[in-house]
């Protein structure tokens, strides 16, 4: 399913509400509600431009009257657009401002805001802040009475805790949270609901990190089918599954070319959704670099990681932790090409970045220091 068919699909879904609001032209609030819902659905289908236009239209119609619920929903949609554009700091700033205006009586919104703040902090590698925000969301969630909606909201906290534990080298505990999230969603949602697929993919990722490949493959296969059915191919959630499919293939012998097809596909889809300079294109380049490294094409591997590095530098700056993976892979390839000076220089930059980002995995810093110590510096030919 491509972007055009997604746009047609969403328009057919939303037309009845728009026609209703047009017939009752005096009801501006209903029109604002239409654009609010339209923007939210467009975002789920990764149609960021449409979603942004809907948010702007909703705010235009909201300017003449006060509807706090619609205001909050549109801010949440807008910050998610920022998130997918890799503008995590903007997202955090926007959410913290929103948190200050949401009354304590709207506890569900406060929980959702804390969850979104934590997710942006996690994506920006501010892991301690993310954990603090998750804890605040969890404390508020503990005040809720059991209900279908409340129980679903709590699964989002479990999901994010699993992601955070996965990102901070605590995968064993992260898997417990991920499985709990999946189990709860399977009880609360229809069997083909996309949120179940998203939880399945997280279980697959954590199993893969722990080298439990067979389990990872099982969960991934189920998640991939559900996501394709729910979202189509051109979607951020589907990109996540395509990436996992490629990584799983790369773990098998002589599957590098097959894996590279999926890694290239990530870049192709992301350019349709986000343009040429985006985080998924960088992910595509990094994965292609890993595949090329595995088959001994070290110069080509360096080229791919260098492309990824350029994107991350544009998106995150020169000293962000997201640069380290590309740099580390480039250093490894240079070492194997007998370019110790180049490898040393790159690893030194990795060390500097990691020391300025103490929240990032300390094992990574130790490994790079070890590489530096074990590398004899000599002039290259």
Q: What is the CA radius of gyration of the chain?
A: 22
Quick: pLDDT tens for 166-225: 999 899 999 999 999 999 999 999 999 999 999 999 999 999 999 999 999 999 999 999
Q: Count CB neighbours of 69 within 10 A.
A: 11
The runs of H, that is alpha helices, within the chain are 3-23, 28-44, 48-62, 68-84, 88-101, 107-123, 127-141, 148-167, 171-188, 194-209, 213-231, 236-250, 256-274, 279-294, 298-316, 324-336, 340-356, 362-373
**Would you say 112 and 98 are in contact if contact means Cβ atoms under 8 Å apart?**
no
> What is d(CA 249, CA 41) in angstroms, rounded to the nearest whole number?
32
Residues 325-380: pLDDT tens digits?
999 999 999 999 999 999 999 999 999 998 887 666 666 667 777 777 776 555 44
Give 115-173 pLDDT, tens digit per residue.
Answer: 999 999 999 999 999 999 999 999 999 999 999 999 999 999 999 999 999 999 899 99
Give CATH for domain 260-381.
Answer: 1.25.40.10
- Judged on CB neighbours under 10 Å (0-12, 13-18, 19+), 132 is middle
C-beta neighbour count of 143 within 10 angstroms: 9
Q: Domain coordinates of the chain in residue numbers?
A: 1-85, 260-381
Provide the 10 A C-beta neighbour count for residue 52: 18
Average pLDDT value over all residues in the chain: 90
- End-to-end CA distance of the chain: give it in Å, rounded: 52
pLDDT for residue 302: 98
């Amino acid at each position: 399913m491509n972007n055009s068919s997604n746009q047609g699909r969403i328009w057919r879904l939303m037309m009845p509400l728009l026609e209703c609001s047009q017939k009752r032209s005096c009801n501006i609030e209903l029109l604002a509600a239409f654009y609010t819902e339209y923007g939210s659905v467009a975002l789920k289908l990764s149609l960021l431009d449409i979603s942004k236009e809907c948010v702007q239209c909703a705010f235009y119609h909201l300017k003449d009257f006060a509807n706090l619920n619609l205001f909050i929903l549109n801010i949440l949609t807008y910050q998610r657009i920022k998130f997918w554009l890799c503008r995590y700091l903007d997202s955090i700033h926007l959410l913290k401002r929103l948190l200050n205006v949401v009354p304590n009586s709207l506890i569900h919104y406060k929980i959702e805001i804390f969850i979104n703040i934590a997710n942006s902090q996690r994506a920006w590698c501010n892991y301690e802040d993310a954990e603090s925000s998750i804890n605040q969301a969890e404390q508020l969630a503990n005040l809720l009475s059991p209900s279908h909606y409340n129980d679903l909201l709590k699964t989002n906290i479990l999901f994010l805790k699993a992601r955070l534990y996965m990102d901070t080298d605590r995968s064993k505990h992260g898997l417990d949270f991920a499985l709990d999230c999946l189990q709860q969603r399977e009880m609360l949602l229809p069997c083909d609901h996309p949120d179940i697929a998203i939880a399945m993919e997280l279980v697959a990722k954590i199993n893969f990190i722990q080298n439990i490949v067979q389990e990872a493959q099982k969960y991934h296969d189920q998640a991939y089918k559900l996501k394709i059915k729910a979202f189509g191919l051109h979607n951020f959630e589907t990109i996540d599954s395509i990436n996992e499919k490629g990584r799983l293939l790369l773990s098998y012998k002589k599957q590098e070319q097959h894996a590279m097809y999926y890694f290239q596909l990530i870049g192709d889809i992301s350019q349709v959704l986000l343009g040429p300079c985006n985080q998924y294109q960088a992910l595509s380049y990094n994965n292609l670099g890993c595949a090329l490294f595995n088959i001994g094409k070290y110069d080509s591997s360096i080229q791919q990681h260098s492309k990824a590095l350029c994107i991350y530098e544009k998106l995150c700056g020169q000293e962000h932790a997201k640069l380290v993976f590309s740099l580390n892979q480039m250093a490894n390839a240079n070492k194997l090409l007998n370019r110790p000076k180049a490898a040393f220089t790159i690893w030194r930059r990795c060390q500097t970045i990691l020391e300025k980002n103490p929240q990032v995995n300390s094992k990574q810093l130790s490994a790079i220091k070890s590489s530096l110590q074990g590398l004899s510096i000599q002039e290259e030919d």
